[in-house]
Structure 1
Amino acid sequence: LGVLALRRIAGVNVFNYNQLKSINENKSILQTNIELAQHQIIRAR
């Protein structure tokens, strides 16, 4: 593998890692919103 190929692979890995991180953060935000909504629904009854 040449230096350029290695750099390209490293760049793709960093990009994928950042994507995964933001997906996980969005998931936990969604989870929190769902839990809050469920509590409000229970209270409204």
Structure 2
Amino acid sequence: MPGDLFFTDNSGFDTLRLGFSRLSFEDIEIGIKIIGETINEMF
């Protein structure tokens, strides 16, 4: 989810909001792995 939606001063365009309170530990691990792989590909 874009992080800028959670800023009242029109900032936050270089942010990312992660919601994980309703996920299982296994799903969180999978998601973190995907995010890490994506970041490695980008940089």
Higher helix content, 1 or 2? 1
TM-score (norm 1): 0.46
Higher-Rg structure is 1
* TM-score, normalising length: structure 2: 0.48
The structure showing larger relative contact order (alpha-carbon pairs under 8 Å, at least 6 residues apart) is: 2
